[in-house]
A and B are shown apart, each in its own frame.
Chain A
Amino acid sequence: MMSIALEIPYWGQSLLRVLGGIGAVLLPAGTIVYLFLFKMMSFMQSRLGPMEAGPFGSMQLLAEVGKWLQKEDIIPENADAKIYKLAPVIVLVSTFLLVVVVPFGPDALFTNFSAGVFYALAIGSVSVIGILVAGWSSANKYSLLGGLRAAGQLIAYELPMVLAVVGVVIQAGSMNLQQIVVAQNSGSIFGWDGVGFPFVLTQFVGFLIFMIAVQAELTQVPFDMPIAESELVSGYMTEYSGFRFLIFFIGEFATAGVFAFIASVLFLGGWGIPFSWFGWESLDAVDGWMNIVGPVIMLTKMLVLTGIIMWVRFSYPRFREDQLQRFAWKVLIPLSLANIAVTAILKVAI
């Protein structure tokens, strides 16, 4: 695999990476919307969902994009037009910048930052700028309230998310996402290496906190106070129509997919299969075909995690704004600090 990669000139490699990145962003978004938002939600509510376009409505996504392409683009007279137009692009860009760190195989990666965890957590909060900008530039009371609520919520849940990851970094002894994957798959549980050592086993509290924080960062129900359609119409997206609205929508579900990728890298072993199955000693010994199988494994794990996110979304009523802040500051943050302390003590003691 490496020998092939070296023969391609730099611009060709970059082009391949970018095309892979577009696939890694849009494929999860489309799958989540069709599989969970259209079909799973429908079945949970005793209806069939889209059935007309293609077999079982599988062409519905194309029909939707076609529909949104033809919608008129309305920019309110009072809005700050330039910034208003820019906001959805910021959200989409932040998703693309986030997928850059995710490793999909031994060589199938976009970048190999030594502080990848840091990068992911920093870029993960860029989308709030797009949301705040959208809420402010719309010059609409609903939008403004929605944008401010989003900022307050994302600030509150950013912390538990960051602190929950510290446990993983302590166990792996590295901030490089590739090293974290290797640490999980080459590890063993009390000498038994049949399933490697996915960190979800020891960092279960961290995993739980991380997934709750992801749910809140994505502003999915029960943390959808910024959108809250029964009181704020559609929150920061109220004034958006046509394709700009669709970009927000794509950004939301693509980010769900990317966060699920990151969660599976940190806690579920990422692209790897336990190295002992094929007698691999280190990362360099991993066979080339893992570059094909790795992305498939990642996609499977992503679907399981987003399935849980969507399941919670369809099942729970919305938190009130003060309950939401209280939960983050008085439950999740002390809990994640305690998790760090316990993990660190055990790591040093053993």
Chain B
Amino acid sequence: MSLFLRDYLNVVWFGLAAMLLAGLLLGIAALIRPSRPSPEKLLTYESGVDPVGLGWSQSQVRYYVFALLFVIFDVEAVFIFPWAAAIERYGTFGLVTMLAFIVLLLDGLVYAWKRGLLRWV
């Protein structure tokens, strides 16, 4: 197996180890903890009063525009990193191209800012 795949196999082992650790600790806890459920205890917590309506209540997600902007900038980061790692190979040409790219995206941010999308609506 190549070294590259072996590194990723390590990631799998670490994930399994974390699950095993959590399972082990929760298993020990399951052996020694008490279990005396009562209807009041299993009620949804709402500061001590009876819960009103469902827990999955409607609420306004005020920052969905931020989520869209996030995707754009995250994709930008994906493009910036490979260039950053090999910046000397691309020299001035790469620099000018990349700065144009960054300025365009910054322009988008400024546009969203001016449209008032970065406000708490």
Contacts and interface: CB of A to CB of B under 8 A. Distances in A.
A348 B66 contact: no
Given A111-B11, A148-B61, A325-B120, A69 B28 contact: yes
Nearest to B37: A74
Interface string B93-121: 00100110010011001000100001110
Contacts of A139: 44, 54-56
A330 B44 CA distance: 38
A106 B15 CA distance: 24
A142 B118 CA distance: 25
B22 interface: yes
Contacts of A163: 73, 77, 80
Interface of B: 3, 7-11, 13-15, 17-19, 21-22, 25-26, 28-30, 32-37, 39, 41-47, 54-57, 59, 61-63, 66-67, 69-70, 73-74, 77, 80-81, 84-88, 91-92, 95, 98-99, 102, 105-106, 109, 113, 118-120
A167 to B, nearest CB: 8
Interface in A304-341: 321-322, 325-326, 329-330, 333-334, 337, 340-341
A113 B7 contact: yes
Tell me which of B10, B18, B28 has the highest count of chain A C-beta atoms within 10 A of its own C-beta: B18
A21 interface: yes
A333 B120 CA distance: 17
A152 B113 CA distance: 17
A77 interface: yes
A233 B47 CA distance: 8
Nearest to A155: B70
B114 to A, nearest CB: 12
Nearest to B31: A69
Interface in A56-105: 68-79, 88-89, 92-93, 95-97, 99-100
A163 B43 CA distance: 44
A262 to B, nearest CB: 15
A325 B63 contact: yes
Interface of A: 14, 17-18, 21-22, 68-79, 88-89, 92-93, 95-97, 99-100, 110-113, 115, 117-118, 136, 138-145, 148, 152, 155-156, 158-159, 162-163, 166, 169-170, 173-175, 233, 238-239, 242-244, 247, 321-322, 325-326, 329-330, 333-334, 337, 340-341, 344-345, 347-348
Contacts of B34: 70, 72
A239 B51 CA distance: 13
A166 B77 contact: yes
A96 B55 contact: no
Given A152-B61, A344-B95, 20 more contacts: A22-B21, A69-B29, A70-B32, A70-B33, A70-B34, A72-B36, A77-B42, A77-B44, A93-B15, A93-B22, A96-B18, A138-B44, A155-B70, A174-B85, A326-B118, A329-B109, A334-B109, A345-B99, A348-B87, A348-B92
B45 A17 contact: no
A18 B14 contact: yes
B18 A95 contact: yes
Contacts of A115: 81
A340 B88 contact: no
A232 to B, nearest CB: 11
B33 A175 contact: no
